[in-house]
A and B are shown apart, each in its own frame.
Chain A
Amino acid sequence: MTVKELAAAIRARNLTPEVDDGKTITCAYTCDLLSWVMSHGEEGMAWVTVQTHLNVIAVAVLADMACVVLPESIDMEAESLKKATDEGMCVLSSPMTAYEICAVLASAAIPAHAQA
């Protein structure tokens, strides 16, 4: 599943239209504690979080994630979106809850951990 396909499946707005949304999602995770995510983040991950500050993008980029997904139509600060665009990190905002987004990811057979 690509980021673009996920965006369609969860009726998300792409908040970073200049960023390539063709990246493949290999696994998914939801958590709002950044230090927790740092120890569990994986390459190709779709990360569902309600956090929107600059450090979210730093964490996603450093872990080589595929995208950040904001639930419940949450917006992200312009400063964070600029950093996301500069760093090539896709940010989606969906009207669904984190639970519903994860259900969509699970039904698309996206695992919790990328296949070794």
Chain B
Amino acid sequence: MEELIRKVYPVAQADYVSAGHASADIKRTLKQLGVGGDVLRRVAVASYEVELNLVIHSLGGDLTLRVLPDSVELISADRGPGIADISMAMREGFSTANDEARSLGFGAGMGLPNMKRNADRFDIQSTLGVGTTITMGFQLPAG
């Protein structure tokens, strides 16, 4: 399907100061396209969660926004370290966040379940030592 917009945001490991910049730009971009209401809020929450996951858990990676005629797609691809047990990581309350993340109020183990709840489509693939790719799709209302 024809891609209307593609934006790639590099996200650095442990960069808590810039965390949220990519999500804010994604929200702004979608707003300018006329996306609003429930879909905009769900994309905003999911994009922030996945951006924070890159900051807290990854060695760095890219968050990509794709806007298609009937949907919005977010793709997070990092450079490792990979998730040992995805089913554990998907459980609410399970977290491997470090003390720095926890001191800022993160690491409650809500990130991945929250992404899944907010997205219409959610897929996670991970290989230890290689990296993790999360793909989320959000259906746009017709018209």
Which A residues touch B44, using CB under 8 A? 62-63
Q: Interface size for chain B: under 10, 10 to 19, 20 to 34, or 35 or more residues?
A: 20 to 34
Interface of B is mostly: helix
A10 to B109, CA, bound (A): 33
Task: Select which of A35, A37, A55, A61 is within 8 A of B16 by beta carbon.
Answer: A55
Contact A62–B110 (Cβ < 8 Å)? no
Q: Which residues 21-62 of B have a CB within 8 angstroms of A?
A: 23-24, 27, 41, 44-45, 47-49, 52
Chain B 84-113 near chain A by CB (<8 Å), digits 1 or 0: 000000000000000000001111111101
A-B contact pairs, 25 of them (CB 8 A): A34-B104, A35-B49, A35-B106, A35-B111, A38-B111, A38-B114, A39-B45, A39-B110, A43-B41, A51-B104, A53-B104, A55-B20, A55-B104, A55-B105, A56-B105, A58-B20, A58-B23, A58-B24, A62-B23, A62-B27, A62-B44, A62-B48, A63-B41, A64-B41, A87-B24
